[in-house]
C-alpha cells in the first residue's frame, strides 16, 4: 500500500501515506528495506516538522516521532541526510516548547539511534545542549510522578511520565560509557540520575536499576574524575545500593563491581 500510494506522485494523499508509514513502523518494529526506508523516514520527518500549534497537529507530530523511533538504522543509507531535519525539530522545540514530553524524548532518541557511530554526534549534542536539556526533562518528569506507595499496596500500571523516564534512561548506557569530555553540566546530569534513583529505589525497581547502571558506567569512564562522582552524589548512591541489607537483591548483586 505504501509503494502504491507513493507511485501516485501528484495525486498522492500525503496524510494517508503518513498514516501508512506510521502503522508499518509501529507494527513492524525492526529493520526495513532500503526502498521503504527512503519513503517512510522522509515522510515521517516531514510530518514531525509541522510547526502548526494545534492539538490535532501536536498529536500527529508525536505519532510521527514515535514511529521514527521504531525504524532501525539502515547502514546502506547515508543517515546524515536526516540530521538537519531532526536538529531543526529539536531546535524549534527548545525555542517554542511546542512538543509533548514524549515527542521531545522521541526526537532525541531518533537522533542518538541514528548517529551514535558518527563522530559528529558529540559536536551535535553539544550544539543542542543535550546534557542540560536531558537534566531539565528528567527533573520535570520526576516531579510529575507519585513515587510513594502504601505498605502492602500493589504496583499500579505505569504512568505515561514513568514510561518516558524509562525511555530516557535506556539511552544512556553507551553515552556514559564512551563520553570523553565532562564538565559541570555533566555533573548536574549525574545529580539528576542520583535524585531519580533515590526517588524510585523503594517502589520502582525498573527505573532505579537503570539509574544505578548508568551511574556505574560513568564511574568506569576514565574521563570522569573522582571529585565529579563525589559532587554529583554518585558514590553515595552506589554505596546505598551495595550496603542494602538484602543480600539477594538483584541491583546489589549486579552492581557490586562498582566498589572495585
Whether residue 172 sits in one domain with residue 119: no
2 and 122 in a single domain? The answer is yes
Tell me if residue 183 falls in helix, strand or coil: coil
User: Which of 121, 235, 109 lies closest to 172, judged by CA?
Assistant: 109
Q: Which cell goes with 150?
A: 502504601
Predicted confidence (pLDDT) per residue in 99-112, tens digit: 999 999 999 999 88
Based on the domain organization, do 14 and 106 belong to the same domain?
Answer: yes
Alpha helices in 145-183 (DSSP H): 160-169, 172-178
pLDDT digits (tens, 9 = 90+) for 86-99: 999 999 999 999 99
In the chain, the number of structural domains is 2
- Cα 31 to its chain centre, rounded Å, is 19
Query: Which of 63, 144, 141, 136 has its CA nearest to residue 99?
Result: 63
Rg (CA), the chain: 20
Could you say which DSSP state residue 110 is in? H
Whole-number pLDDT of residue 214: 81
Maximum C-alpha span of the chain: 68
> Within 13 Å, how many C-alpha atoms sit on residue 148's CB side?
2
Give 162-197 pLDDT, tens digit per residue. 999 999 998 876 677 666 666 667 777 888 888 888
Per-chain mean pLDDT for the chain:
80
pLDDT band for position 76 (cuts 50, 70, 90): low
Angle formed by the axes of helices 184-200 and 130-144, nearest 10°: 20
Give the pLDDT of residue 29: 59
- d(C-alpha 195, C-alpha 177), whole Å: 20
- DSSP states along 51-93: ---SHHHHHHHHHHHHHHHHS---TTS-GGGGHHHHHHHHHHH
pLDDT at residue 125 in the model: 84
pLDDT of residue 94: 95
pLDDT at 150 (0 to 100) = 52
Same domain, 72 and 182: no
Task: Mark whether 205 and 111 lie in a shared domain.
Answer: no
For 107, the domain range is: 1-128
Please indicate, yes or no, if residue 243 is contained in any of the structural domains.
yes
Q: Of the ranges 8-12, 137-141, 210-214, which is most confident?
A: 137-141
Decide if 1 is inside a domain.
yes
CA dihedral 121, 126, 132, 137 (to 10 degrees): -30
Please indicate, yes or no, whether residues 184 and 99 belong to a single structural domain of this protein. Answer: no
Q: Which H or E element spans position 155?
A: none
Do 93 and 195 belong to one domain? no
Does residue 65 carry a pLDDT above 90? yes
Amino acid at each position: 500500500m505504501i509503494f502504491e500510494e507513493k507511485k501516485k506522485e501528484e495525486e498522492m494523499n500525503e496524510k494517508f501515506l503518513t498514516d501508512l508509514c506510521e502503522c508499518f513502523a509501529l507494527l513492524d518494529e525492526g529493520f526495513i528495506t532500503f526502498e521503504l526506508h527512503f519513503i517512510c523516514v522522509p515522510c515521517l520527518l516531514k510530518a514531525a516538522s509541522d510547526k502548526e500549534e494545534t492539538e490535532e497537529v501536536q498529536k500527529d507530530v508525536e505519532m510521527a516521532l514515535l514511529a521514527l523511533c521504531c525504524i532501525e538504522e539502515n547502514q546502506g543509507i547515508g543517515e546524515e541526510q536526516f540530521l538537519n531535519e531532526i536538529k531543526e525539530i529539536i531546535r524549534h522545540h527548545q525555542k517554542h516548547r511546542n512538543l509533548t514530553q514524549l515527542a521531545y524524548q522521541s526526537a532525541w532518541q531518533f537522533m542518538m539511534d541514528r548517529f551514535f557511530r558518527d563522530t559528529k554526534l558529540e559536536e551535535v549534542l553539544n550544539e543542542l545542549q543535550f546534557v542540560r536539556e536531558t537534566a531539565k526533562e528528567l527533573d520535570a518528569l520526576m516531579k510529575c510522578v507519585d513515587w510513594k506507595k502504601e505498605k502492602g499496596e500493589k504496583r499500579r500500571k505505569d504512568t505515561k511520565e514513568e514510561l518516558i523516564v524509562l525511555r530516557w534512561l535506556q539511552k544512556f548506557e553507551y553515552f556514559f560509557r564512551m563520553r570523553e569530555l565532562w564538565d559541570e553540566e555533566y555533573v548536574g546530569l549525574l545529580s539528576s540520575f542520583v535524585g531519580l534513583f533515590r526517588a524510585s529505589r523503594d517502589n520502582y525497581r525498573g527505573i532505579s536499576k537503570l539509574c544505578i547502571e548508568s551511574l556505574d558506567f560513568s564511574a568506569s569512564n576514565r574521563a570522569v574524575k573522582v571529585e565529579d562522582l563525589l559532587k554529583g552524589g554518585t558514590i553515595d548512591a552506589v554505596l546505598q545500593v551495595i550496603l542494602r541489607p538484602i543480600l539477594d537483591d538483584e541491583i546489589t548483586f549486579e552492581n557490586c563491581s562498582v566498589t572495585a
